[in-house]
């Protein structure tokens, strides 16, 4: 018995010391970015973005090395830019909070949620506005009023996503409770939602570009217009967020980041054909379709209506924090409302 107990204690001792070693390694790893942020180390920036043509300016920025160019012009030094493609704003939020990402691009709703949760970032640029809309295959549904109080299922990408907030806003704009249709939601990715709508398995699909354009082409479907009106294409859809650490401790790099994104948006706005050829491969569209879809978006660094959205989210219980002004959401250099 004593022998057994001794064996057990030794086993645990070994296991604990192994865990402790792993812990130390972890600590060392997290220290690395802090050390690299010093002025003597080579500059480095980690950027995360997501899939789809709403992120097209970032493909330009990446392919043309515009951040590197801006940084070199300002400081004469090199910067290593690491681009990572992630599948959700929630993962990017965690990455920034953990210090492994400096910059992220995501829907404006998760960005506002992140600022509210004190993830440690603010919005540093707008990236694009895209068309949103809700399509239905049911002849009986022609307006939000027809949906209110019904059991019709609405597919959208996720609860808490910008599409969910837009549904809530469309309801509120038409005099209903913003959460009236929450129980009707079926959370699924855009392509699955489109397949579910077209096969008659859900009544409605609230989606964004380019899926909304693809669904427009289907004559068996029609649009519920109030949803598009609740968040038109000019309003901010995808925004960029940068960690406050990057903004405060590496101002030159932050400026180069803003400049790189701004240049890529300018390039896109004056070279749609070239960008469509560049991004069509990533998005799986033909260059012609990509060009058509790209031209329907609005690409600018100035934000639009994000404070209105943040106030709406706060007043309707989508987030627990309220913001007193636009400047609570963005860094000083950002223009818009």
Partner 1 sequence: MKDKKKKAVSVIARSIYVIALLVIWECVARSGILGPRSSLIFPSLEQIGEAFIKNFVKGYAGTSLWIYIANSMKLLLTGLFIGVVLAFILSGLSMVSYVFFKIYDLTVSVFDLLPGIALLPVVIIIFGVREEVIVFLVVHAVLWPMSRNMLDGFNATPRIYVEAGKNMGLKGAGLIFGVYLPAAASYIVSGLKSGWARAWRGLISAEMIFGIASSPGIGLFINQMRTNMNNAEMYATLLVIIIIGVIVQYGILRPIEINTVRKWGMTK
Give ∠ CA 120-209-148 in degrees, rounded to 5: 90
Rg of the Cα trace of the chain? 23
Within 199-320, residue ranges assigned H as helices are 211-216, 225-230, 244-249, 251-270, 272-283, 287-295, 306-315
Nearer to partner 1, 4 or 219 (CB): 4
Contact set with partner 1 (CB under 8 A): 1, 4-5, 8, 11-12, 15-16, 19-20, 23, 26-27, 30, 88-90, 93-94, 97-99, 110, 113-114, 117-120, 151, 153, 155, 158-161, 179, 182-189, 191-192, 195-196, 199, 201-202, 317, 319
* Cα 238 from Cα 210, distance rounded (Å): 14
Nearer to partner 1, 19 or 73 (CB): 19
Least CB distance to partner 1 at residue 291 (A): 28
Least CB distance to partner 1 at residue 142 (A): 22
Asked if residues 258 and 71 have their Cβ atoms less than 8 Å apart, the reply is no
3-state secondary structure of 107: strand
Least CB distance to partner 1 at residue 235 (A): 21
Nearer to partner 1, 108 or 294 (CB): 108
Nearer to partner 1, 197 or 256 (CB): 197
Nearer to partner 1, 69 or 91 (CB): 91
Least CB distance to partner 1 at residue 122 (A): 14
**C-alpha closest to that of 173 among 139, 145, 152:** 145
Nearer to partner 1, 158 or 264 (CB): 158
* Cα 120 from Cα 247, distance rounded (Å): 11
Least CB distance to partner 1 at residue 330 (A): 19
Q: With residue 134 as reference, give the H or E element that holds it.
A: strand 132-136
* Cα dihedral 116, 264, 100, 90 sign: positive
Nearer to partner 1, 178 or 291 (CB): 178
Q: Determine the straight-line distance between the first and last CA of the chain, rounded to whole angstroms.
A: 73
314: left (phi over 0), alpha (psi -120 to 50) or beta: alpha
């Amino acid at each position: 018995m004593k022998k057994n107990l001794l064996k057990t204690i030794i086993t645990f001792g070994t296991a604990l010391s192994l865990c402790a070693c792993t812990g130390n390694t972890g600590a060392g790893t997290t220290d690395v970015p802090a050390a690299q942020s010093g002025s003597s180390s080579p500059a480095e920036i980690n950027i995360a973005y997501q899939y789809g043509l709403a992120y097209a300016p970032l493909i330009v920025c990446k392919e043309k090395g515009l951040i590197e160019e801006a940084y070199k012009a300002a400081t004469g030094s090199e910067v290593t830019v690491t681009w990572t493609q992630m599948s959700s704003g929630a993962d990017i939020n965690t990455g920034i909070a953990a210090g492994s990402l400096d910059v992220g691009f995501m829907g404006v709703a998760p960005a506002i949620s992140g600022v509210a949760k004190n993830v440690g970032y603010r919005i540093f640029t707008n990236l694009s506005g895209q068309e949103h809309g809700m399509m239905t295959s049911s002849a009986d549904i022609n307006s939000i009023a027809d949906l209110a109080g019904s059991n019709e299922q609405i597919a959208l990408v996720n609860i808490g996503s910008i599409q969910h907030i837009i549904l809530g806003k469309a309801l509120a704009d038409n005099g209903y409770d913003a959460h009236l249709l929450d129980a009707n939601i079926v959370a699924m990715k855009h392509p699955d939602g489109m397949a579910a709508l077209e096969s008659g398995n859900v009544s409605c699909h609230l989606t964004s570009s380019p899926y909304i354009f693809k669904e427009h082409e289907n004559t068996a479907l029609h649009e519920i217009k109030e949803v598009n009106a609740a968040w038109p294409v000019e309003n901010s859809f995808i925004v960029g967020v940068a960690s406050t650490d990057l903004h405060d401790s590496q101002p030159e790099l932050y400026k180069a980041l803003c400049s790189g994104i701004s240049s890529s948006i300018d390039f896109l706005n004056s070279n749609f054909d070239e960008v469509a050829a560049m991004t069509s491969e990533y998005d799986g569209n033909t260059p012609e379709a990509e060009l058509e879809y790209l031209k329907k978006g609005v690409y600018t660094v100035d934000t639009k209506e994000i404070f209105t959205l943040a106030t709406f989210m706060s007043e309707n219980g989508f987030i627990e924090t309220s913001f007193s002004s636009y400047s609570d959401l963005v860094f000083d250099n950002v223009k818009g409302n």
